[in-house]
Chain A
C-alpha cells in the first residue's frame, strides 16, 4: 500500500534538479503534506545542481517537519554532501594562477 507521506521527486519535479525554484516547488509539496515526517524518494533522479541543493538545505533547516531522503544516487548524494560541507566554508581557489593583463582598443580595428 502506498504511504501518503512519500513523495517521488522525479515525478513531482524532474530527473534533473536544476534551479532554486525547483527546490521551492518541491518543498511546497512537502509543506502541503499533512504528515509531520515526509519521505522524499529520489529514485530516478540523475542530477542535482548546487543551486537546487543549496536552496533545498536552507528550506529544510527552517521547515519544521522531519524530512527523510531515500534512494539517492551516488552523484546526488555526493552533491548534497559537498554543499552541506561548503555552507559557510571558504571557496576553493580556481585554477587561474598566471594572468596576462592587456588593454583592447577598438581603434585598432
Chain B
C-alpha cells in the first residue's frame, strides 16, 4: 500500500502512525502541520503522554503537552480540552461549550442534530469506555470548508467492550456491529447511540472515522473521497490504545429533522 492515497480523516490517522513510529524525532512534529488537525492530534497527544510518563523520551520541557494543547487551542477557530468527559455533571456544561463552537461557525439551523451527536458521543465515553482520560478537539478547516471534530478516550476500546460482554469478534466486526446497533449493555433501549449518530452525521454531509483498538471504520457520507464505507484491520504497530471518533462536517450542512418517525 506504499504511496496509497487515503481519505482525509484516515490520512490523518496515518500521519499519527508515522509520528508513533518515528517518535525519537518527535521535535520535528511540533512544527509539522500534518498533526495539527483533531484526528491526528488527539491520538498523538495520548501517545506523547505515554512516552513522556514512561520516561522513554526526554522532552525539552516538562510542560510540553500542556503547551502543545494550549498552542492548538490558541489557533484560530480551534478548541481543545483535556478531561472532556467525566461521569458527572461536568459533562453537561462541557457539551454546551462544544455546541457553542458549532454555533459560532454558523450552524444554528441544525441545533438539535448537533446537540444530539455531541450528547451521544459524550455518553458513549462516559458509559462504555472506562477511560481515565479523554480529550476533545475541534477545528474549522477553511481549506476544505469543513469543521473537524474528534473525541478520544484511552479506555477499553470497542473490541475490548465486546470481549468483556463475552462477544467474540474480530476488531473490525466489533466496530461495524457497534455502528449497526449491537450494544454491550443488557438493558432495553440500549444500542441506539452510534447507529443514530452516524446516520445523522452522514445525512448532515459528514465523513466519519471510528478507530478503536486494531480497527478503523471510515463511514462515507459525502462521496467526496470514497464510494463506500471502508473497514480497515490495522496491524499491531498502528493500533490505537483507546477509541477515536472524528468527523468532518462539510459546509453548508443539510438540515436534518432527527425527530421524524423511526429516525432515532
**Which residues of A pack against B, CB within 8 Å?**
13-14, 16-22, 25, 46-47, 49-52, 54, 58, 74-75, 78-79, 82-83, 86-88, 90-109
Contact = CB atoms under 8 A, between A and B. Distances in A.
B198 A109 contact: no
Given A18-B95, A54-B189, A102 B112 contact: no
A50 B87 CA distance: 16
Given A50-B116, A98-B229, A82 B176 contact: no
B262 A18 contact: no
B92 A106 contact: no
Interface in B163-211: 172, 176, 179-181, 183, 187-189, 191-196, 198-199, 202-203
B188 A87 contact: yes
Contacts of B116: 47, 49-50
Contact of A18 (B87, B92, B231): B92
Contact of A19 (B123, B193, B259): B123
B128 to A, nearest CB: 11
Given A75-B259, A102-B230, A106-B21, A96 B198 contact: yes
Contacts of B192: 50, 86, 91-92
A92 to B, nearest CB: 6
A99 B228 contact: yes
Given A49-B123, A50-B264, A109-B14, A22 B89 contact: yes
A103 B259 CA distance: 37
Residue of A25, A49, A58, A79 contacting most chain B CB atoms (<10 Å):
A49
Contacts of B62: none
B196 A19 contact: no
A91 B182 CA distance: 8
Interface residues of B, number: 63
A99 B2 CA distance: 22
A86 B219 CA distance: 25
Contacts of B191: 91
A94 B18 CA distance: 32
Contacts of A91: 180-181, 183, 191-192, 195
B231 A100 contact: yes
Contacts of B203: 95
Contacts of A97: 229
Interface string B223-249: 000101111111101100000000000
A16 B120 contact: no
B140 interface: no
A19 B198 contact: no
B67 interface: no
A106 B17 contact: yes
